[in-house]
A and B are shown apart, each in its own frame.
Chain A
Amino acid sequence: MKVYADQAATTMIGSRALQAMISCYTEHCGNPSSLHEAGRDAEAVLETARERVAQMLHAKPGEIYFTSGGSEADNWAITQAAALGTRKGKKHLISTAFEHHAVLHTLDALKKQGFEVTLLPVHEDGLVRPEELEAAIRDDTALVSVMYVNNEVGTIQPISQIGAICRKKGVLFHTDAVQAVGHLPIDVEAEQIDMLSMAAHKFHGPKGVGALYVKKGIPIGNLIHGGGQERGKRAGTENVPGIVGMAEALAESLENRSEKNDRILAMRQKIADAVLQIPKTRLNGDRTRRLAGNLNFCFDGIEGESLLLYLDLEGICASSGSACTSGSLEPSHVLLALGLPAEVAHGSLRISLDETNTEQEADYIIEKLPVVVERLRSMSPIWNRQGD
């Protein structure tokens, strides 16, 4: 049996999104900037996609800028907020210790340019405390950037409360919502979000396309100079098939979302109940305030990569830490931010499910995972010492 349980890393393209993309390659092939009929047709499908994406986020079409993905959107939002801050003499940025590297490394780059960065603690449950955020905001704070859902432990941050605090204090608020869009209902207006990053491939859309929402009136600077695309802010002929595929994937993902989440939650609960029967196993992050499909375990005495490889031999695709961390020897910065000791953080496993997973697949994980853990523990000097 093959089980893909790494939906937080990426998802397979949905058939509706794929069909929509194919129509862009076969029918709507023009350049949206061209004046002729083919160009006008491409522009029409592009702008329809923009309207759909905007509507699903409760934004206006003019507030959506298409990008190459979540990392680009994060980089753009943060560097531009910093630039806007500089003009007003504001050189302080606030974020959290467990952001995606697209955010953390952008902040590192800004630090070298003289910005001061405060990273809020996320506590053992993986949740930002709004009161700690409020206390961290200063007169010279240019931006607050807090991810909507953490990519490793799936915890859902109190975005509305953070939005309200930032609006009250007059500080720009950006959220990296790459793990949230398509999985949770999002309303940028009600949640008082100023900027939001999203990526299509996290909800069965194509890879290499995403968007940045920027609230009307925020004068962000240009990312790519050139033609007048994306209202002059991001030049380059638009990725029409990708954008259209993203809009269709988002629409499909949000259809019957709460029923889908109920079904995913049932699978998650079943797996969690079974896996937590394994001795010396813990679930990382808050148990309930997390994305329906996310499970993140630590198993004492074993290391995450060998766990992944053994699961892979059984046909199960999962992840340890974030996929971006593979190739590095450092334990996950997310788990360290949750206060886990390094030796425990090395043994983490993320299982991420969504509506395309089945109960049979959940059962298969429940069957195989304890066997693999047992096998690795039997050869672990740390585990065998514990048994002494």
Chain B
Amino acid sequence: MAMTYSEKVRDHFAHPRNVGTIEDANGVGEVGNAVCGDIMKMYLKISDDGIIEDAKFNTFGCGAAIATSSMATEMIKGKSVEEAAQLTNQAVVEALDGLPPVKLHCSVLAEEAVQAALEDYRKRREKKEENA
């Protein structure tokens, strides 16, 4: 009955990359809810030419939620906004060498957190253009 996590997953929850917040983030997204036991908050710092210079996260959740958040931030750092928008939960799962089936929703949440942060970035830019 016990679930086994891959070495990669274990590494990412034991030593999560990019934990924290970004003071001057220009894209922030939060998904999930506490009743279900997972919340991910993603902070992105995107340059004027649309490159993700930094990504950080805060996560409330299980080991898989922490590992998928960590991996997702690693995968989008240095990428363009367009490339990051292509990130799928499947890609995160593959990068982690798989997840137990019951934990696949964590990878979906990671994808959604990235999408939510990118959406926030787009909205902020539109607003900026309107104001300009």
Contact = CB atoms under 8 A, between A and B. Distances in A.
Contact of B1 (A326, A346, A384): A326
Nearest to A382: B60
Contact of B59 (A313, A328, A346, A381): A381
Nearest to A383: B60
Contacts of A309: 13-14, 62-63
Interface string B22-57: 000000001000111111110000000000000001
Nearest to B41: A381
B132 interface: no
Given A309-B13, A329-B36, A379 B66 contact: yes
A305 interface: yes
Interface string A24-67: 00000000000000000000000000000000000000000000
B55 to A, nearest CB: 14
Contact of B60 (A302, A313, A342): A302
A323 B2 CA distance: 8
Given A328-B102, A329-B36, A382-B34, A306 B62 contact: yes
Nearest to B21: A384
Contacts of B3: 326-327
Contacts of B21: 384
Interface residues of A, number: 27
Contacts of A331: 37
Interface string A281-309: 00000000000000000000111111001
A324 interface: yes
Contacts of A383: 60
A343 interface: yes
B22 to A, nearest CB: 13
B62 A305 contact: yes
A145 B35 CA distance: 30
21 contacts: A303-B61, A305-B62, A306-B63, A326-B1, A327-B102, A329-B36, A329-B102, A342-B37, A343-B34, A346-B34, A378-B19, A379-B19, A379-B66, A380-B39, A380-B58, A380-B59, A380-B60, A381-B30, A381-B59, A382-B34, A384-B58
Interface string A344-376: 001000000000000000000000000000000
Contacts, number: 74
Interface residues of B, number: 30
Interface string A250-261: 000000000000
B93 interface: no
Does more than half of chain B's interface fall in helix, strand or loop, or is it mixed? mixed
A381 B58 contact: yes
Interface of A: 301-306, 309-310, 313, 323-324, 326-329, 331, 341-343, 346, 378-384
B16 interface: yes
B29 to A, nearest CB: 11
Interface in B61-80: 61-63, 65-66
A12 B89 CA distance: 41
A132 B51 CA distance: 64
Q: Which 10 A-B pairs have the closest CB atoms?
A: A343-B34, A305-B62, A381-B41, A381-B58, A346-B37, A380-B60, A309-B63, A342-B35, A379-B19, A382-B60
A303 B102 contact: no
Contacts of B1: 323-324, 326-327
A384 to B, nearest CB: 6
A247 B58 CA distance: 51
A313 B63 CA distance: 12
A343 B32 CA distance: 12
B39 to A, nearest CB: 5
A324 B2 CA distance: 9
A306 B5 CA distance: 12
Contacts of B60: 301-303, 380-383
Given A343-B35, A346-B34, A326 B2 contact: yes
Contacts of B63: 305-306, 309
Given A328-B102, A341-B35, 17 more contacts: A301-B60, A303-B37, A303-B62, A304-B62, A323-B1, A326-B2, A329-B37, A342-B36, A378-B19, A379-B57, A379-B66, A380-B39, A381-B39, A381-B40, A381-B58, A382-B34, A383-B60
